Each structure stands twice: as structure tokens, then as C-alpha cells.
Amino acid sequence: MRQLYFLLFIPLIPACTTSSKEATGQDRNAQLITQYFAAFNDHDWRRMASFYQEKAEFKDPSLGPGVVTQTREQTVKKYTQLQQAFPDIRDRVVQIYPSGDQHVAVEFISSGTAPDGSTFELPVCTIFTIEDGQITRDFTYYDNFEE
């Protein structure tokens, strides 16, 4: 009976090892995204852009329809302009959802105040693709219909 139990247990060992490696990759990716949002909230656009590959793919209503390739420098410019429109812009992360070894979905609330005193609060979801420790895709979704 002991031998049968041992034979049944052996196939589970490789699955646990694979799961552990995947979890480690997920942890690294979640940590990278946490640092990304810290740079965003510090308004350190160069540091934030450094988390991206030199040229990354974006799907973002603010960039138009479809997928757009942007450089780090274009990312810095975009967020510098956003900060001019909303000097206190912030993202409050609600939840980070690591998925596999290359993807992280993030649910967050973006908020800010315009120079005229008007404010906004916008729920956003972004799916990041991460390869070799850098973001290669940033697919962002939010309701961009004006009331």
C-alpha cells in the first residue's frame, strides 16, 4: 500500500515546481507594475517610461482607435501634457491581477484637478504584457464617452 501511495504522489511534484516558477514570474511582474504606478504618482515620467521597452504597443482611447506604437520619449511627452492639464493627477490602484508569466491586469481609479478647479475620477483597467522585465504592450480600457 505504501508503494502505491508513493507512485501516486510523484506526478504531482513537477506540477508544483512549474507552478512555483510561474508564481515567481508573476510576483516579479506585479512588483514591476507596482513600481510603475509609484513613478506615475510621483509624476516621474522618465522613470515611468523606463519600464517600457524602447518601442511599445498601446491601445488607448486617448491615442485613437487601434494599436499604436510609441517610444519612451513619446510616453514622457504624453504624460507631461496630461500633468499640465491635471497637475495633481493620481492613480489609485484597486487591484493587481497577475496572469501567467507575461500579463498583469490592473484595476485603478485615475483622478485629478484641472487648473480651473474642475475634477475628474475615472475607473480604468489596463492589461500589461511584460517580456524580459519590460512592458511591451499597454492596453488600456475606460469609458471615454462624455456625459
Residue 75: closest CA among 85, 63, 84, 86: 63
The yes-or-no verdict on residue 96 having pLDDT over 80 is: yes
For residues 112 and 46, the answer to whether their CB atoms sit within 8 Å is no
pLDDT in tens, 116-133: 999 999 999 999 999 999
Has residue 80 got a pLDDT over 60?
yes
Give the residue carrying C-alpha cell 485615475: 110
Distance of CA 66 to the CA centre of its chain: 18
CATH of region 2-141, choose from 3.40.50.10860, 3.30.365.10, 3.10.450.50, 3.40.1400.10:
3.10.450.50
- Whole-angstrom distance, CA of residue 143 vs CA of residue 147: 10
CA angle (115 as vertex; 35, 111 as ends), nearest 5? 35
